């Protein structure tokens, strides 16, 4: 650009075209072309010399003449339409060009058409520079490619998801392998990341995976309840990226690309036999990545993080986060709710209602109408029952309270004879459930009979050694208490000598005559 000013200055001093060309080292034709353009510019050379180089260039170079071509003027008005049409399924540049050339036969060829359309697409993808504050956001994502370790017993390759996070201000990165992208593994990786950082940023920016966002929405996305509990525990906000807008978390997207080269590629020839050793290797390579000097920067990621960002992070909570799960079961007629293949009791007045259950690895909390109604220790016994006596109705409590002592105390409070009968009843070697039912029947007979008759019936049963509900019932029905009869016990057979014995049955040949003698 300075040569134009020198050319104008030499021309104003009276130098010839040949002398100017020799002095500036350019061709005579170039000098002639500039001097001819000078005649068309209605500005004095003295004023031109005072202009800055870009302004001076615009006076002699009005632009590419191709953009003044009538074909371009016609195409320029349709470029927005073509760009919008490319988003439709099946629409290609070739198809758009065929439609264009059919409507405008003297238009551009296919290559020039694609060139101008590409220029339009590039211009439409303008982006702005994002400025991040220290300790403000933590961007997280899962890498698209998996890593593997080998099962020692089967030799099978076990695939692992790779969790990646970074602080956009310092670009400090964290990565680790987890078995899956499920909520438990996701929150475990997040807690490990925050422990590695040694503090908590103000906001968490996740992708729209189901472990983070239940329902994606541009304005009010629905956050997963477990992630919301995690954020409340660590006192941080959750700001999910917009669906289909990876630029919202561009820093972590760039980290994933870098880790493909600095972690994946460097570990591709190594074998690991468990996820722990795999994570140790990943941690080593990520540490090297954070300590690598960045391009166009005088520092590395780790230096920037330790010097500026880490002191501004909020402190970690003293207690570890425990994952909470939620469900809303219906209270069964037994007064229990079914949670993770186990039954837990609630107050019997809630039978038939839906309750909200919040359970962790160790505890189960049950809420009704916004109030805590039951707390149980988590049980992993499938099909078992965890019951609190106070939750049951009086009938069920009485059923659970059944025992020999319970029936003996109850019988003693009613009648001394009944107590003696029940005491003899429990001394029998019978199934407990049968004995409990017999006692219930005796109590009913006591209630429906006169005390004198019932006491006499108990005495008859004790005297004859017959301890049963049915015997007492027959005695009362037949009025045997008014005219007692002796109940004869079956007598044993008298002793005699007509006993064959085992020697008789082990004979190989039975001798009947010998037995007759």
pLDDT tens for 442-457 read: 888 888 888 888 888 8
Residue identified by tokens 């293949």 is 341
Q: Is 446 helix (H, G, I), strand (E, B) or coil?
A: helix
Kindly list the distances between the CA atom of residue 503 and the CA atoms of 6, 177, 508, in Å, as whole numbers in the listed order.
146, 81, 10
Kindly list the distances between the CA atom of residue 118 and the CA atoms of 81, 104, 111, 112, 441, in Å, as whole numbers in the listed order.
13, 20, 10, 10, 95
How far apart (Å, rounded) are the C-alpha atoms in residues 313 and 454? 83
The pLDDT, as a whole number, for residue 517 is 44
Q: Vertex 292, ends 139 and 261: CA angle to 5°? A: 70
pLDDT tens for 216-231 read: 887 788 888 889 999 9
For CA atoms 343, 346, 349, 353, the dihedral sign is negative
The pLDDT, as a whole number, for residue 234 is 94
The pLDDT, as a whole number, for residue 214 is 85
Window from 64-73, 115-124, 411-420 with minimum mean pLDDT: 64-73
How far apart (Å, rounded) are the C-alpha atoms in residues 17 and 32? 7
- DSSP state letters, 397-434: HHHHT--HHHHHHHHHTT-HHHHHHHHHHHTS---HHH
For CA atoms 10, 15, 19, 20, the dihedral sign is positive
Higher pLDDT, 170 or 504: 170
The pLDDT, as a whole number, for residue 149 is 95
The pLDDT, as a whole number, for residue 358 is 92
pTM of the entire structure? 0.60
How far apart (Å, rounded) are the C-alpha atoms in residues 49 and 55? 11
pLDDT tens for 111-161 read: 999 988 888 887 766 566 678 899 999 999 999 999 999 998 889 999 999
pLDDT band at residue 25 using 50, 70 and 90 as cut-offs: confident
pLDDT band at residue 94 using 50, 70 and 90 as cut-offs: very high
For CA atoms 133, 138, 141, 145, the dihedral sign is positive
Phi and psi torsions of 192, nearest 5°: -65, -40
The pLDDT, as a whole number, for residue 65 is 59
- Give percent of the chain above pLDDT 90: 38
Q: Vertex 101, ends 100 and 102: CA angle to 5°? A: 90
How far apart (Å, rounded) are the C-alpha atoms in residues 367 and 383? 22
How many Cα atoms within 13 Å fall on the side-chain side of residue 39? 5
How far apart (Å, rounded) are the C-alpha atoms in residues 182 and 184? 6
Higher pLDDT, 1 or 90: 90
How far apart (Å, rounded) are the C-alpha atoms in residues 14 and 9? 9
485: pLDDT strictly greater than 60 = no
50: pLDDT strictly greater than 50 = yes
pLDDT tens for 297-343 read: 888 999 999 999 999 999 999 988 888 888 999 998 888 999 999 99
How far apart (Å, rounded) are the C-alpha atoms in residues 231 and 238? 7
Q: Let me know: does 316 contact 195? Beta carbons within 8 Å.
A: yes
Sheet holding 385-386, edge to edge: 336-339, 342-345, 385-386
Higher pLDDT, 493 or 206: 206
């Amino acid at each position: 650009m300075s040569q134009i000013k020198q050319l104008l200055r030499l021309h104003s001093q009276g130098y010839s075209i040949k002398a100017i060309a020799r002095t500036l080292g350019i061709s005579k034709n170039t000098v002639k072309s500039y001097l001819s353009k000078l005649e068309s510019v209605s500005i004095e050379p003295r004023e031109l010399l005072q202009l800055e180089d870009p302004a001076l260039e615009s006076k002699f170079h009005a632009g590419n003449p191709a953009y003044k071509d009538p074909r371009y003027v016609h195409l320029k008005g349709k470029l927005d339409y073509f760009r919008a049409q490319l988003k439709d399924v099946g629409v290609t540049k070739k198809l758009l060009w065929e439609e264009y050339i059919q409507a405008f036969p003297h238009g551009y060829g296919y290559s020039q058409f694609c060139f101008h359309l590409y220029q339009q697409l590039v211009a439409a993808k303008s982006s702005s520079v994002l400025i991040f504050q220290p300790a403000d956001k933590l961007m997280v994502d899962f890498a698209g490619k998996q890593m593997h370790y080998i099962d020692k017993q089967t030799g099978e390759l076990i695939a692992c998801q790779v969790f990646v996070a970074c602080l956009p201000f310092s670009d400090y990165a964290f990565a680790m392998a987890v078995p899956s992208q499920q909520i438990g593994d996701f929150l475990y990786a997040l807690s490990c990341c925050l422990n590695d950082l040694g503090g908590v940023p103000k906001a968490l920016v996740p992708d729209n995976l189901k472990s983070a966002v239940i329902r994606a929405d541009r304005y009010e996305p629905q956050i997963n309840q477990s992630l919301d509990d995690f954020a409340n525990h660590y006192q941080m906000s959750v700001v999910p990226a917009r669906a289909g807008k990876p630029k919202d978390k561009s820093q972590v997207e760039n980290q994933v690309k870098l880790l493909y080269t600095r972690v994946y590629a460097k570990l591709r020839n190594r074998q690991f036999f468990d996820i722990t050793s795999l994570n140790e290797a990943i941690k080593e390579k990520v540490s090297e990545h954070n300590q690598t000097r960045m391009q166009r920067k005088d520092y590395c990621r780790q230096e920037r993080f330790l010097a500026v960002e880490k002191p501004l992070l909020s402190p970690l909570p003293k207690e570890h986060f425990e994952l909470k799960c939620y469900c809303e079961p219906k209270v069964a007629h037994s007064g229990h709710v079914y949670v993770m293949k186990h039954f837990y009791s609630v107050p019997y007045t809630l039978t038939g209602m839906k309750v909200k259950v919040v359970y962790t690895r160790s505890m189960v909390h049950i809420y009704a109408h916004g109030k805590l109604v039951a707390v149980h220790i988590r049980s992993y016994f499938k099909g078992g029952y965890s019951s609190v006596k106070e939750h049951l109705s009086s009938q069920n409590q009485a059923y659970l309270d059944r025992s020999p002592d319970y029936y003996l105390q109850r019988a003693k409070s009613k009648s001394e004879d009944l107590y003696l009968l029940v005491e003899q009843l429990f001394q029998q070697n019978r199934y407990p459930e049968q004995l409990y039912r017999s006692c219930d029947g005796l109590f009913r007979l006591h209630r429906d009979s006169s005390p004198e008759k019932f006491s006499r019936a108990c005495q008859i049963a004790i005297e004859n050694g017959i301890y049963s509900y049915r015997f007492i019932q027959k005695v009362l029905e037949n009025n045997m208490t008014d005219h007692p009869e002796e109940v004869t016990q079956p007598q044993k057979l008298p002793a005699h000598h007509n006993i064959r014995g085992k020697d008789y049955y082990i004979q190989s040949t039975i001798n009947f005559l010998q037995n007759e003698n």
